Structure 1
């Protein structure tokens, strides 16, 4: 398996699937073999655009194709569990977009199926694998600038309300929290761990989908994380880690390929990671290696991390009375 080309399938062919496919084409030892949509014309167009071998008009047909080694699931949140279980049941490794599922109970079912079938499963939270984010994690772990004492992270953009859009569709898990609030929460969990207390408040669109969410996570030693997601305004979308002896700031669009500004001793240094891709290739390369090695769980995006992440999302939803 060491040099095996990994044949990929993609289920759900929206915007994020396009970005994934673009980066997949840059990876040695990876091939976009098949794509699937409920609409054959859409599947054909996507396959033609990215040179996929086969285009299917159903997810069920794709998972029956013995040539496929792994599937990237890019369907709406509410379909993640169903689509993941379908793939795992057919022995196909799964890289499933974030949020992993709608709630902790669904995530537990997915992980249980992965373990039962001994098939690789990983949540596709691409930020974890980006070099700039790994750099920040290492600096914080090594306490290069002392202990982390405060985090500020936001993610916001303005979208006019449109009840025909997935983003505003409650039945599909729409709203700011699950769609983009997961990134600031991820930032807190990956650096500060599980909060001992959560405060949260939200605003809503007329159909009950959350339009914004403000959160404060409290930890020991009075350490706090101030987090925000919103669909009402464009925000800086920074992640700023305040340490005892300096500050690490991931600049605009912190969840994407970005730069890092380090401030210490009154001096600023900008670190550019010279990204050449959209950024999805990093998680795919990791996933491909896991698959070649016969692994069934990532050592970076572990099951435990995904379980903790969805548990925090559930806790915030309960506090703000957001129910799907």
Structure 2
């Protein structure tokens, strides 16, 4: 294995540009870029000083000099690229939502296991320092028993039914776009996977989920309430309620600050750890650590739990994407 692992990115959007900055900060090797539109890949390479641009992005999956590929394309395209990359022995970091459904993720995990490569979702909550610190605090028992988690995530998106948020052909909808963060947050802190999940949904005119409410509980009776919307602004707020106090995080997908309010005294404690702008940097560090042997830091088991929950919710809603029809 190379000491300095070679990274490649598929896609040239906002996340890919953030990745480039994070790799530079970490002193990592940004080896290559690929995109369906070749000219965009060339422009991206020139912007970030990348030496390799593929005429056909599929070449990336076969290039022996590529160690890790970051897939940043729309999530309805992920499994097709994941199959090819994993079968050719590439380690993969994949943007959320990692796949459309559990069957796709199970297939990808099976191939990754066969090829003995690392597969991970680029879920900030599993990698940022503030979440690791708070999980350690709760797991220590210092806050008492975990009782309830409450999540809000709302964005106001214009009713443009062609964009990815509302377009069924791009696997749009609140659950896979923003709900994946809220459910991942809840699963990160819960001691075990929920075994009871109920939900309500409001559809956009295109038939994707525009708004949803989700309730979850596990066998230890840790409860979760989640409110999601793509057409009404809400604070990105997570609250974890325990016996001895509650913890609030704002801007939780990329949080860096939490406030603990203690039950008996009402006193507050502020905890800050890590930096919001370094969210992808932390993902990169954990991904390289996993490739070098510490696979636990990928938390793929939690990714699997979250995907199972989302798949079951959509099954109950009857929301099927074009790629899933007839399967």
TM above 0.5: yes
Give the match for residue 96 of structure 2: 98
Give how far 1:123 is off. Answer: 1.7
Q: Given that residues 130 and 255 in structure 2 are in contact (C-alpha distance below 8 angstroms), is that contact kept between their aligned partners in structure 1?
A: yes
Change (3 A) 1:68 1:12: same
Give how far 1:182 is off. Answer: 0.7
SS in 1 for 2:279: coil
SS in 1 for 2:212: strand
Q: Given that residues 152 and 182 in structure 2 are in contact (C-alpha distance below 8 angstroms), is that contact kept between their aligned partners in structure 1?
A: yes
SS in 2 for 1:260: strand
- For structure 1, list consecutive stretches of 5 or more residues without a partner in the other structure: none
- Separation of aligned partners in 1, 2:218 and 2:84: 39
Give how far 1:304 is off. Answer: 2.6
Give the match for residue 208 of structure 1: 207
- Separation of aligned partners in 2, 1:214 and 1:242: 19
The equivalences for 1:19-34 within 5 A come to 19-28=18-27, 30-34=28-32
Give the match for residue 55 of structure 1: 53
TM-score by length of 2: 0.92
Residues 176-217 of structure 1 show CA distances to partners (whole Å, capped at 9, x for unaligned) of 100110111112222223223111011111110111111111
Give the match for residue 34 of structure 2: 36
Residues 102-129 of structure 1 show CA distances to partners (whole Å, capped at 9, x for unaligned) of 1111011101111111222112212211
Give how far 1:290 is off. Answer: 2.1
Q: Which among 131, 149, 155 is matched to residue 147 of structure 2?
A: 149
- Separation of aligned partners in 2, 1:86 and 1:31: 22
Give how far 1:274 is off. Answer: 5.0
Give the match for residue 116 of structure 2: 118
- Separation of aligned partners in 2, 1:160 and 1:98: 22
SS in 1 for 2:216: strand
Q: Given that residues 201 and 319 in structure 1 are in contact (C-alpha distance below 8 angstroms), is that contact kept between their aligned partners in structure 2?
A: no
The equivalences for 1:77-226 within 5 A come to 77-192=75-190, 193-220=192-219, 222-226=221-225
Give the match for residue 287 of structure 2: 287
Q: Given that residues 286 and 298 in structure 2 are in contact (C-alpha distance below 8 angstroms), is that contact kept between their aligned partners in structure 1?
A: no
- Separation of aligned partners in 2, 1:275 and 1:39: 33
Give the match for residue 6 of structure 2: 7
- Separation of aligned partners in 2, 1:222 and 1:104: 25
Structure 2 residue 311 is the aligned partner of structure 1 residue 314: yes
- Separation of aligned partners in 2, 1:97 and 1:62: 17
Give the match for residue 15 of structure 2: 16
Give how far 1:222 is off. Answer: 4.7
Q: Given that residues 5 and 68 in structure 2 are in contact (C-alpha distance below 8 angstroms), is that contact kept between their aligned partners in structure 1?
A: yes
- Separation of aligned partners in 2, 1:196 and 1:61: 42
Structure 2 residue 233 is the aligned partner of structure 1 residue 234: yes
Give the match for residue 70 of structure 2: 72
- Separation of aligned partners in 2, 1:126 and 1:41: 30
- Separation of aligned partners in 1, 2:15 and 2:279: 12
- Separation of aligned partners in 1, 2:282 and 2:117: 21
TM-score by length of 1: 0.93
User: What root-mean-square deviation, in Å, do the aligned CA atoms of Structure 1 and Structure 2 show?
Assistant: 1.7
- Separation of aligned partners in 2, 1:42 and 1:137: 40
The farther-off stretch of 194-203 and 106-115 is 194-203
- Separation of aligned partners in 2, 1:246 and 1:176: 30
- Separation of aligned partners in 1, 2:312 and 2:61: 34
